[in-house]
């Protein structure tokens, strides 16, 4: 009996311990569950609090952007996030989708004058914060060309594209477009990225022509100026009265400072000054040009025109491995080349070009000398000399004391020179053994016997050369050259083609002063009769106020207007 009672008591105690342990475990689980629930609730409250803060911040930012848009847009609020698409155009005018036209029109933008926009690159999915100084990368200002872009996109010309995007930009490029108001510019300081821009004749007029295609200028952006086939890059250093200004219908004072020595102008050509009487050393690689410039002053030209002086341009080769060609042109053609030039020399090794009063186109002015690397790398010395040939002419006249008719002379049957009759037999015996006459039609030059084997004539043009010069002559003058317009001609015909009829020939426009491609013949018959090319016909259609009466007259009709209305010649 006692044993059973003890067993029952032990069993009861064990069950009680188990129930206590289970209760304790249950309490522990409940405590942990409450702790986890409390943490989850705190996390949820933190997320909700963060969302409320983000919403408030976004609202404040939107209100700030709205106020900034209203402030910078003079009461106009326009903001779009668009995908950038490039298109080939000039200047800084972009293309916007038609929906932008509707939105801007509803706010009466078109009654406020020209429209300007600020473009900024979108980085990491967030628009770039609005700033007032334009010094950050990926932001610039522009005008609008038309509203024909696809919805959701904005068309950017090369000038705008290069100023806001880097070379390592992602595939999908997003920009924010914001309407802004810009003050009219009064002053701009520009700096070329390399040497050569200041060498252009009337370079400020060329810059003015380029700025006609722009609506705005922004500090630190790169302005590209095209002059024929050459491209010059100018950095905007300073603007007044603001860091971004409008250049439409305003006079801007432009100050062009010298390039920084640390900058490298890779695509620019420089004209190295040549002082008459002094030489300059240089080096040119095959296929490249090195350019120099010199001037013929009025006093020198008076001597040349009176046959008392001549200009001698000389290149002396310092090495035998390379060979050069020499091209000369008068400004405004400042970069003579194989296709377009006025004078040239293709002698092997050293060469000299003599310009005298007989040369058509010679006169007082500035001239360019182009040294072309024909073969290998050439070291040379170039010089310009003004030769006064008065003494030479007097000396020649004094030396010729008598003519063949005044002496008892006989013509040599071999060399055709007039020899005194008393020595003609001895001369002919010697001449027939040592000299030969070239039998080529029209040549007749007398050569030494040892030199005759090197004297050859071109089968195509009949010109006489040394044997070593024939290969270069055939390559330069008779190897077909393809013009950029597609025509294939030999050198002589190519120079004539480039001078007169090629649509891609460079001319100095009589209206804008820029060096441009001429284009085809003018479509208008009157312009064609005036001798205007396609570019001049279009460029001359711009109007300008007459200085006498103030009427707006097309530039190409201004001379007729002055004669017909104001009786001015």
Burial 311-328 (b: 16+ CB within 10 A, else e): bebbbebeeeebbbbbbb
CA distance 201 to 333: 9
The C-alpha R_g of the chain, in whole angstroms, comes to: 41
Q: Measured between alpha carbons, how far is residue 545 from residues 413, 550, 552 in Å?
A: 76, 5, 4
Task: Extract the tokens encoding 333.
Answer: 């053609």
Question: Omega into 91 within 30° of 0, i.e. cis?
Answer: no
Residue 491 CA neighbour count, 13 Å, CB half: 18
| Predicted confidence pLDDT, tens digits, the chain (569 residues) | 677 778 888 888 888 888 888 888 888 888 888 888 888 888 888 888 888 888 877 777 766 665 555 445 577 888 889 999 999 888 899 999 999 999 999 888 888 888 999 998 886 444 444 333 444 457 899 999 999 999 999 999 999 998 888 665 556 688 999 999 888 999 999 988 876 777 776 677 778 778 888 999 999 999 988 776 678 889 999 998 888 999 988 888 888 887 754 444 444 567 888 989 899 999 998 888 999 999 999 998 988 888 888 999 999 988 777 889 999 998 878 888 887 888 988 888 888 899 988 888 888 889 999 999 988 888 999 999 988 754 444 334 333 444 444 468 888 888 878 888 888 888 888 888 888 888 787 787 887 877 777 888 887 787 777 777 777 788 788 888 888 788 888 878 887 887 788 887 777 788 877 777 788 888 888 888 888 888 888 888 888 888 888 888 888 888 888 888 888 76
- The answer to whether residues 526 and 511 touch, using CB atoms and an 8 Å cutoff, is no
Burial 456-481 (b: 16+ CB within 10 A, else e): bbeeeeeeebeeebbebbeebeeeeb
Q: Which of helix, strand or coil describes residue 151?
A: coil
Q: Measured between alpha carbons, how far is residue 308 from residues 73, 300, 357, 358, 391 in Å?
A: 69, 9, 9, 12, 9
CA distance 98 to 104: 10
Residue 23 CA neighbour count, 13 Å, CB half: 6
- The answer to whether residues 206 and 227 touch, using CB atoms and an 8 Å cutoff, is yes
| Alpha-helical segments (H) within 73-157 | 98-106
- DSSP label at residue 277: T
CA distance 34 to 534: 87
CB atoms within 10 A of CB 41: 10
What's residue 70's pLDDT? 46
CA distance 496 to 340: 9
| Alpha-helical segments (H) within 155-297 | 158-164, 203-211
Can you name the residues that pair with 245 across neighbouring β-strands? 217
CA distance 207 to 384: 31
pTM above 0.75, yes or no: no
Q: Who contacts 359 (Cβ-Cβ below 8 Å, separation ≥6)? A: 343
What's residue 408's pLDDT? 80
Ranges of beta strands (E only) in 402-460 are 409-411, 418-420, 435-437, 446-448, 455-457
CA distance 477 to 463: 11
CA distance 359 to 317: 26
**Which DSSP string do the residues of 382-412 spell out, in sequence order?**
EEEEEEE-HHHHHHHHHH--S-GGGS-EEE-
Give the strand pairing for 79-86 and 153-156.
Answer: parallel
- DSSP label at residue 286: T
Q: Which of helix, strand or coil describes residue 109?
A: helix
Q: Measured between alpha carbons, how far is residue 446 from residues 135, 413, 565 in Å?
A: 75, 12, 68
CA distance 532 to 519: 10
């Amino acid at each position: 009996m006692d044993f059973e009672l003890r067993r029952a008591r032990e069993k009861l105690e064990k069950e009680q311990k188990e129930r206590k342990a289970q209760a304790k475990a249950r309490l522990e689980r409940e405590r942990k569950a409450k702790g986890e629930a409390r943490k989850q609730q705190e996390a949820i409250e933190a997320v909700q609090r963060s969302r409320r803060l983000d919403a408030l911040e976004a609202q404040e930012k939107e209100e700030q952007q709205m106020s900034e848009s209203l402030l910078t847009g003079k009461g106009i609020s326009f903001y779009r996030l668009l995908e950038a698409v490039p298109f080939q155009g000039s200047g800084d005018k972009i293309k916007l989708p038609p929906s932008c036209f509707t939105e801007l029109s509803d706010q009466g933008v078109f009654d406020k004058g020209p429209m300007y926009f600020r473009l900024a690159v979108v980085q990491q999915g967030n628009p770039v914060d609005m700033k007032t100084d334009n010094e950050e990368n990926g932001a610039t200002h522009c005008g609008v060309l038309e509203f024909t872009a696809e919805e959701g996109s904005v068309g950017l010309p090369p000038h705008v594209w290069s100023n806001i995007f880097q070379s390592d930009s992602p595939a999908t490029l997003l920009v924010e477009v914001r309407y802004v108001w810009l003050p009219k510019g009064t002053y701009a300081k520009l700096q070329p990225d390399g040497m050569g821009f200041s060498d252009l004749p009337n370079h400020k007029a060329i810059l003015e022509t380029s700025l006609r295609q722009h609506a705005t200028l922004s500090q630190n952006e790169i302005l590209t100026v095209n002059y024929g086939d050459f491209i010059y890059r100018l950095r905007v250093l300073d603007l007044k009265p603001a860091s971004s200004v409008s250049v439409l219908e305003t006079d801007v004072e432009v100050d062009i400072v010298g390039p920084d020595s640390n900058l490298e102008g890779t695509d620019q050509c420089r004209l190295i000054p040549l002082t008459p009487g002094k030489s300059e050393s240089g080096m040119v690689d095959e296929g490249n040009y090195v350019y120099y410039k010199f001037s013929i002053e009025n006093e020198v030209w008076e001597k040349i025109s009176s046959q008392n002086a001549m200009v001698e341009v000389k290149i002396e080769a310092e090495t035998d491995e390379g060979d050069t060609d020499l091209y000369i042109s008068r400004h405004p053609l400042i970069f003579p080349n194989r296709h377009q030039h006025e004078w040239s020399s293709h002698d092997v090794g050293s060469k000299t070009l003599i310009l005298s009063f007989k040369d058509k186109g010679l006169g007082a002015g500035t001239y360019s000398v182009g040294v072309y690397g024909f073969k290998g790398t050439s070291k040379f010395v170039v010089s310009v000399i003004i030769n006064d040939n008065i003494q030479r002419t007097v000396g020649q006249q004094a030396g010729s004391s008598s003519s063949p008719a005044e002496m008892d002379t006989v013509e040599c049957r071999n060399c055709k020179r007039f020899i005194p009759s008393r020595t003609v037999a001895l001369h002919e015996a010697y001449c027939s053994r040592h000299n030969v006459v070239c039998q080529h039609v029209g040549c007749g030059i007398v050569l030494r016997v040892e030199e005759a084997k090197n004297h050859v004539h071109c089968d195509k043009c009949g010109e006489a050369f040394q044997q070593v010069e024939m290969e270069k002559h055939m390559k330069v003058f008779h190897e077909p050259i393809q013009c950029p317009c597609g025509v294939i001609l030999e050198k002589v015909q190519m120079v004539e083609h480039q001078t007169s009829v090629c649509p891609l020939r460079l001319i100095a426009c009589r209206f804008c002063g820029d060096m441009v491609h001429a284009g085809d013949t003018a479509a208008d018959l009157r312009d064609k009769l005036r001798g205007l090319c396609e570019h001049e016909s279009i460029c001359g259609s711009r109007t300008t106020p007459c200085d006498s009466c103030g009427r707006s007259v097309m530039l190409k009709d201004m001379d007729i207007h002055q004669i017909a209305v104001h009786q001015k010649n």
